[in-house]
Structure 1
Amino acid sequence: MEVVVTGAAGALGRSVLDEFLQGGARVVALDRPGAALDEVGARPGVHPVAVDLADQDAVGAAWAEVDAVTTAPDALVALAGGYVPGSLADLDAAALDGLWRSNVHSVLWSAREAASRMPDGGAIVTVGSRTAVDGPAPVAHATSKAAVVRITELLAEELRPQRVRVNCVLPSVIDTPANRTWMPPDLAARAVPPSAIAKVIAFLAGPDAWPISGARIPVYGDA
């Protein structure tokens, strides 16, 4: 299996890489340039590609490099995204634009490139958020993630004729080192390990999930 993962150098990305590599997959890891990408790219079975995932031209150039590794990926896992807290009163244009670029543009440009390379079927997995569909949340972040959920549903219909499945996972609070710095103990005890979410993502990307497309899968446990 050949998989392209965006946001591969993050906490969830590393767990997703672990899951695919343990299953024998070859992975192309896309993320911003830096030491984190260099670290994951040094792993056997991983080919790193540095890219600004919110920039259409940069993503197109990155996928030209992907083509040197695999001309027909089996799956795209679009993990890249950002988070900015704040209420409506705190919102400014820069924060809104940044969230839209990191959460929406990154999904659309990568999905566009991946779908054009899946003429005989494949899978795309995106990452929304529980707050995209339920409960109180920072308005800009939740809105951008709600767009990801709707994009997932629309692409599932558009790409169905070429047998490309598109599904979305909805995390709540993920148990990462960064999140541990602010979580109170009761929430930390309920946060979902990224390794558990990675297993769901790998299933959705794999052949056993062939009947599933257009789904939004809650992966928030009790968090």
Structure 2
Amino acid sequence: MSDRVAVVAGAGGPLGHAVAVKLASSGFSVVGVDRNEDGLRELPDTIRRVPGDTTDPAVPKAVLEQVVAEVGPPEVLVNTIGTFVLGDALSVTPDELRRLIDINVGAALWLTQAVVPHMLQRGGGSLVHVSARPAAVPTAGMAAYSLSKAALSHLVRVLDTELRPQGIRVNAVAPQLIDTPKNRSFLPPDALAHAVTPEAVAELIVFLASDASAPVSGAILPAYGA
């Protein structure tokens, strides 16, 4: 076990799985967190698993305290948690908007609040979240999703101004579309033509989490595909 600890929230999904594996191969002791216990069981045995729904504001603090007690204070936290719903602005319901804000923004904020005290104790760290192209480029038919991801991107920039002076870097990647089984199940082939693989996005995330990107903070790195 390395004394460099990384936590991956959403490790039960395709992107989180890819990030956890790449961080482990880069020399980190990795802890995967997800409410999807079946997905967590698909991680390699070398990666620890902690079940938990980090969209619940009460959960991240307990999860991070468990990680610190069992493995050590995290140097890296990657948050891959997210969801989407299709629909134009005139059809968005209050429940849809609340759900996307809670998942796409809330989890990022609660995880950050939970991990930062431990990063400060160890002298610094790196946070990486997952935004999306519609956060920056208005996209018809994805109103609630675009709003929630735009809020996440702005949160990353706010956190950068607050945490960079304390030695904690905060960045994000912004894919347009990731080639996952869920997306393949309902999107036509032409829509997937330029989708990026989870592994390709994971490479960018691991770069942002690593010492190689030490000068970078407050960045929203595009991952739009070819």
CA distance in 2: counterparts of 1:67 and 1:2, whole angstroms: 9
Q: 2:119 maps to which residue? A: 118
SS across alignment from 1:135: coil
Q: State the TM-score, normalizing by the size of structure 1.
A: 0.94
1:123 & 1:5 partners in 2: Cα distance? 12
Alignment match, 1:200: 204
Q: TM-score, normalised by structure 2?
A: 0.92
1:36 to 36, 39, 55: 39
Q: Deviation per CA, 1:81-133, whole angstroms, max 9, x where unpaired?
A: 11111112321111111111111110001011111111211100011100000
Which of 205, 208, 222 does residue 218 from structure 1 map onto? Answer: 222
The 10-residue stretch of structure 1 (84-93 or 189-198) with the greater mean CA deviation from structure 2: 84-93
Q: How much does 1:143 deviate?
A: 0.4
Which amino acid letter does the alignment assign opposite residue 17 of structure 2? R
Give the aligned residue type for 2:222.
P
Q: Which runs of 4+ in 1 moved over 6 A?
A: none
Superposition pairs for residues 46-125 of structure 1, below 5 Å? 46-119=47-120, 120-125=123-128
Count of aligned pairs between the two proteins: 220
Return the match for 2:165 from 161, 167, 176: 161
Is 1:16 matched up with 2:19?
Answer: yes
Larger mean CA deviation between 87-96 and 183-192 belongs to: 183-192
Correspondences of 1:122-201 after superposition (within 5 Å):
122-137=125-140, 138-201=142-205
One-letter amino acid matched to 2:164: R
Q: Any conservation in 2 of the 1:51–1:58 contact (CA below 8 Å)?
A: yes
Stretch deviating more after TM superposition (182-191 or 51-60): 182-191
The answer (yes or no) to whether the contact 2:33–2:52 under 8 Å persists in 1 is yes
How far 1:187 sits from its partner (Å)?
A: 3.1
CA contact (8 A) 2:156 2:171 kept: yes
Displacement of 1:183 after TM fit?
2.9
Structure 1's unaligned 5+ residue stretches are none
Q: What RMSD in Å do the two structures reach over aligned CA positions?
A: 1.4
Deviation of the 1:202 alpha carbon: 0.2
Whether the 8 Å contact between 1:71 and 1:117 is mirrored in structure 2 is no
**Counterparts of 1:36 and 1:21 in 2: how far apart (Å)?**
17
In 2, the alpha carbon distance for the partners of 1:180 and 1:56 equals 31
Structure 2 residue runs of 5 or longer lacking an equivalent are: none
Distance 2:180 2:8 in 1: 19
CA distance in 2, matches of 1:33, 1:171: 22
**Deviation (angstroms), 1:33:** 4.3
